[in-house]
Structure 1
Amino acid sequence: MPDAPRLARVLVGALAHAVPTVIGIVILDFFLLRLAPGDAADVLAGESGAATEETVAALRSRFGLDLPVLDQLLAYLGNLTHLSLGFSPRYNMPVSDLIMQRLPGTLVLMLVALVFALALGILLGVVMANFAGGWPDRLLSVVALLFYSIPSFWIGLMLIVLFSVKLGWLPSGGAETIGSDLTGVAHLLDRARFMVLPGLSLSLFYVAIYGRLVRASMLEVTAQDYIRTAAAKGLSPVAITVRHALRNALLPVTTVAGVHLGGLMGGAVVVETVYSWPGLGRLAFEAVMARDFSVLLGVMLLSAALVIVANVLIDLIQAWLDPRIEVA
């Protein structure tokens, strides 16, 4: 287990790499978004239905949209130095306040999806590895291929048709029962019912990836000498799988899971829209439609920060799983 000084060096090194990375992401995203046609003033004018050229010009002047692109970039970077993400023309409120309202919903959804993906993927991979070459392995490989190939929005719609429309077991959208006065455990269970379908829709793609990865890792690990030694000592197959093979087979899974956090945030855009889930993904979609680039930049910046933090945590988890790994 890494000691405290070594962990401190990890955090300092990660911060040294993270700051220029985040700045580069912000600058790149800023210029890419400026390639899109229109701006927030055009959208607001179109929604009013009776805006004049003077009104549009006043809106652009109010939100700084009439400034040269470089001046807008410098102003945005200046705001970041003061820990401000700017102001949203569409929602008429600070971007940081808007993101903080939606962030908990997305984090909970991502956590649920990641738990589903890891639990189901590891179980799938272990079963396929134990029956390698047999009919369970072939059948589950086909299932994993389907999960990998089908778009998440189509899976979401089919889950709604099956579990909401046909069976009536789970709600089709939203985050909680509207108008309910539930508290405590009843409130948590009510919210959990609304998380099941979005979490599954977001996780099934990664279930396929983790299942195939665990299968390959398990087959490689079980061919090692220490596995044969454990079997020769009389350990049960379950003990060998859980205590020896699976622990080492999880190393590549933890690495890939950290990389996929950014993909989970991107997939949340589609899933949250399908299920009307109040999170950052739906907010990003609404910001694109409204040309509210300040909000979109804030969501992208937060996504990048989450991925960087997750990769640091993954390094620590790998060091815990395998003491031979040096955390540097």
Structure 2
Amino acid sequence: MADVPIRASRSASRQRRRPLPYPLRRLLQALPLVVTIAVLNFFWLRLAPGDLADVMAGEAGAATPEYLAALRHQFGTDQPLALQFLAYLDRMVRLDLGWSFRYNESVLRLILERLPATALLMVGALVIALLFGCVAGTVAAVSRRRSVDIAISILATLGFATPLFWLGLMLMVLFSAHLHWLPAGGITTPGLAATGWSRVGDIAAHMALPVFCLAAYYLAIYARLMRASVLEVAGLDFVRTARAKGLSRAATIRAHVVPNALLPIVTMTALQFGTLFSGSVAIETVFSWPGLGQLALDAVASRDLNLLLGILLFSSVLVLIVNLAMDLAYGWFDPRIEEQR
């Protein structure tokens, strides 16, 4: 009877040591990574020659030592690097991304102003790439070694090998300069005071070329990956068992093959999100899309380090959040993963 209280205490201690929920654990694990990214970005950008004072003094035509010293004192870049780093960490703790002296505006406000345009471009391209890529890969796998499979494989190879900026320029020449079907750049027509559905249609027309151009590369990747994944899953035992029980081929593919084949697609989407963001920089430059990519290029050209640091940190946190969301989505596609957490 003496061991009963001991067992009770052990069970109580085990209950107290119950692990935190999986999403909370992942967030806590991501915090050191965010701090590391912020620190590395700060010191790496300081290795680049020149600063905002050099750019502004050159534009003003008054690059005298006194003027440069006054600008650096105003921007705080004349202080020792250690003091600048401590000030940067203090801003990070207060969730303050700093001030853009180039635009004379808060960095956070600038990012939030440009974020909807970039999100519109990236989400549209990602949805198109995932939808048509998965469908094309499934069709290619089902019609293996036939003309449809060969045609999809050739198109996927071309989409994978074509540079985004070249494709954007060719689409602009064909559909804007030659056929005059779609606008060449921007997000809205200048001087057009449209509202309601007219404004939606105008934005959609401007989105067509950059979204298709950005989606083409990732559509090719998802098509090839989905084809390989469907072929691999189709040869597993549970698929043959489903067919042996009398389930039709189409029903087997829809209910058993495709859901299990989507797991590599989810993984690739999480890994490709950062690449998708970097690809949007080139697309925004070609099509004059007013998003974060264009803002980042302007920050690099003007040596606006506060703005560039804010964009890099914001995009890094965004990529981490997307990876966490994709990680949580695994449990929806495969309940066995949720049980192991």
Same fold (TM over 0.5): yes
Matching residue of 2:238: 226
Trace 1:115-264 onto structure 2 (pairs within 5 A): 115-264=127-276
Rounded Cα–Cα distance in structure 2 between residues aligned with 1:85 and 1:226: 52
Shift of 1:21: 0.4
Q: Residues 239 and 169 from structure 1, CA distance in 2 versus in 1: closer, same or farther, beyond 3 angstroms?
A: farther
1:56 maps to a residue whose letter is: L
User: 8 Å contact 1:112–1:199 — kept in the other structure?
Assistant: yes
1:288 maps to a residue whose letter is: V
Render the CA deviation track for 1:2-27: whole Å, top value 9, x for unaligned: xxxx9971221122111110110011
**For the pair shown, which has the larger CA radius of gyration, 1 or 2?**
2
Rounded Cα–Cα distance in structure 2 between residues aligned with 1:48 and 1:238: 69
User: 8 Å contact 2:54–2:63 — kept in the other structure?
Assistant: no
TM-score (norm 2): 0.90
Gaps of 5+ in 1: 1-5
User: 8 Å contact 2:102–2:302 — kept in the other structure?
Assistant: yes
Rounded Cα–Cα distance in structure 2 between residues aligned with 1:146 and 1:272: 22
Trace 1:76-91 onto structure 2 (pairs within 5 A): 76-91=88-103
TM-score (norm 1): 0.94
Rounded Cα–Cα distance in structure 1 between residues aligned with 2:324 and 2:290: 28
**1:12 aligned counterpart, secondary structure:** helix
Rounded Cα–Cα distance in structure 1 between residues aligned with 2:311 and 2:32: 18
User: 8 Å contact 2:51–2:304 — kept in the other structure?
Assistant: yes
User: 8 Å contact 1:214–1:249 — kept in the other structure?
Assistant: yes
2:111 maps to a residue whose letter is: I
Shift of 1:198: 1.0
Matching residue of 2:120: 108
User: 8 Å contact 1:251–1:318 — kept in the other structure?
Assistant: yes
Rounded Cα–Cα distance in structure 2 between residues aligned with 1:280 and 1:137: 38
User: Which of 22, 35, 51 is the equivalent residue of 1:23?
Assistant: 35
Q: Please identify, of 282-291 and 222-231, the stretch whose mean Cα deviation from structure 2 is larger.
A: 222-231
Rounded Cα–Cα distance in structure 1 between residues aligned with 2:193 and 2:300: 35
Trace 1:7-86 onto structure 2 (pairs within 5 A): 9-86=21-98
Shift of 1:182: 2.0
Shift of 1:156: 0.8
Matched, 1:96 2:101: no
User: Which of 279, 292, 308 is the equivalent residue of 1:267?
Assistant: 279
Question: Superposition RMSD on alpha carbons, in Å?
Answer: 1.7
Gaps of 5+ in 2: 1-17
**2:336 aligned counterpart, secondary structure:** coil
User: 8 Å contact 1:95–1:294 — kept in the other structure?
Assistant: yes
Rounded Cα–Cα distance in structure 2 between residues aligned with 1:83 and 1:196: 36
User: 8 Å contact 1:268–1:282 — kept in the other structure?
Assistant: no
Q: Residues 164 and 237 from structure 1, CA distance in 2 versus in 1: closer, same or farther, beyond 3 angstroms?
A: farther
Number of residue equivalences:
323
Matching residue of 1:3: none
Rounded Cα–Cα distance in structure 2 between residues aligned with 1:309 and 1:8: 18
2:279 maps to a residue whose letter is: G
Rounded Cα–Cα distance in structure 1 between residues aligned with 2:212 and 2:19: 34
Rounded Cα–Cα distance in structure 2 between residues aligned with 1:166 and 1:313: 42
**1:324 aligned counterpart, secondary structure:** helix
Q: Please identify, of 165-174 and 285-294, the stretch whose mean Cα deviation from structure 2 is larger.
A: 165-174
Render the CA deviation track for 1:136-168: whole Å, top value 9, x for unaligned: 222222221121112111111111112212222
Rounded Cα–Cα distance in structure 2 between residues aligned with 1:304 and 1:146: 30
**1:176 aligned counterpart, secondary structure:** coil
User: Which of 318, 322, 325 is the equivalent residue of 2:334?
Assistant: 322
User: 8 Å contact 1:88–1:295 — kept in the other structure?
Assistant: yes
1:172 maps to a residue whose letter is: A
Once the two structures are aligned, what percentage of the paired residues are identical? Answer: 50
User: 8 Å contact 2:23–2:328 — kept in the other structure?
Assistant: no
User: 8 Å contact 1:125–1:211 — kept in the other structure?
Assistant: yes
Render the CA deviation track for 1:265-295: whole Å, top value 9, x for unaligned: 1111111011111100000011111111111
User: Which of 309, 313, 316 is the equivalent residue of 1:297?
Assistant: 309
1:44 maps to a residue whose letter is: M
Matching residue of 2:13: none
Shift of 1:64: 0.7
